[in-house]
Amino acid sequence: MSKNELHDTLDQAQSTQEARMGEGVDSRFNSKLREAFGSTPFILTKFDQFMNWVRGSSMFMLLFGIACCSIEMMHTYAVKHDLDRFGAGVPRASPRQADVIIVPGTIVSKFAPRMKRVYDQMPEPKFVVSMGSCTISGGPFQEGYNVIKGVEEVIPVDIHVPGCPPRPEALIYGIAKLQERIANGETSPVTVKPYELEQFGDLEQDELVTKLADQVDEDDLVMRYNWADSA
């Protein structure tokens, strides 16, 4: 086989992989094994599908309470609604053991960096359900001086469940939708996240940064809120 022909086969293999992945599948679902093989032999395709089904059927939620919605979230976990019936109801106290984070409440300026940190600590693949109006847009507190206008300003979101607060049934529906998506290997596109954790020293030197220079260290992580842009 000539060098050229070999090259063509590799090309073909790569495009097969892409074709098999289909649209709407992002790298979050790719197993290490598949990357190592470069192409997708039949058995690994089936294995990936199997893994997706497993992921969707046994989700570990992060025990994460913020505000009013967390009360309805507790009711969803507990008797009567019993989220565990759907294979998604074991709350884990540590982010390192969780696949799904339900964000149940208003995010304010002081909490957003902490939430980002908790999200970063979760292992991949991870999914986010935003619960309630506050996490969609700031909800009834949108005009507040301290309120982040939706959780998507900080972390990407897969499913939005509207309501103030959503009923447990609504949350269950949202989670069932998420499970369906995971089982099919679909995820939502990652939207723009204007607020990032960054080192103080990397910020653009403007009036505010100079003013805070003696209070904050160069290598401290900070989150900068440009309220005027996010409204």
Partner 1 sequence: MSLEQPRQPDAGVTPEGDLDYDELADLLGERVLDREEHINAEGFVVRPDEVEDTLSTLKQEAGFDHLSCVTAQDYQDRYESIYHLKKYDDPTQELSVVVPTTRDDPTSESAAGVFDTADWQEREAFDLVGVDYEGHPDPRRILLPETWQGHPLSQDYNQDKPQIVPLREHANPTEERTNVPQESDTMFINIGPHHPATHGVLHIKTTLDGEQVADIDPDVGYLHRCEEQMCQQSTYRHQIMPYPDRWDYISAGILNEWAYARAAEDMADLAVPEYAQVIRTMSAEMCRIAAHLLAVGTFALDIYGDFTAIFMYAIRDREVIQNLLEDLTGQRLMFNYLRLGGVAWDLPEPREEYFESVRDFLDEWPSRLEEYHNLLTSNELFQMRVVDTGILPPEEAKSYGATGPVARGSGVDYDLRRDDPYGYYDQLDWDVVTDEGCDNFARASVRLQEMEESARIIEQCVDLLEDWPEDERDIQSNVPRTLKPEPDTEIYRAVEGAKGELGIYMRSDGTDKPARFKIRSPCFCNLQTLPVMAEGEYIPDMIAALGSLDIVLGEVDR
Give the binding site for partner 1 (CB under 8 A). 63-68, 70-72, 74-75, 78-80, 93, 95, 105-106, 108-115, 117-118, 134, 140-141, 143-147, 164-165, 167, 197, 200, 203, 208-209, 211-212, 215-217, 220-228, 231
Parallel/antiparallel/unpaired status of strands 197-199 and 159-161: unpaired
Sign of CA dihedral 150, 151, 152, 158: negative
Q: How far is Cα 222 from Cα 224, in angstroms, rounded to an integer?
A: 6
Question: Among residues 3 and 80, whose Cβ is nearest to partner 1?
Answer: 80
Question: Among residues 105 and 150, whose Cβ is nearest to partner 1?
Answer: 105
Residue 64 Cβ, how far from partner 1 at the closest point, in Å?
7
> Cα–Cα distances in Å, from 138 out to 7, 145, 173?
53, 11, 22
Question: Among residues 45 and 109, whose Cβ is nearest to partner 1?
Answer: 109
Question: Among residues 18 and 217, whose Cβ is nearest to partner 1?
Answer: 217
Residue 109 Cβ, how far from partner 1 at the closest point, in Å?
5
Question: Do residues 59 and 99 touch, judged by C-beta distance below 8 A?
Answer: yes
Question: Do residues 83 and 89 touch, judged by C-beta distance below 8 A?
Answer: yes
Residue 32 Cβ, how far from partner 1 at the closest point, in Å?
28
Residue 175 Cβ, how far from partner 1 at the closest point, in Å?
18
CB-neighbour burial class of residue 74 (10 A; exposed 0-12, middle 13-18, buried 19+) = middle
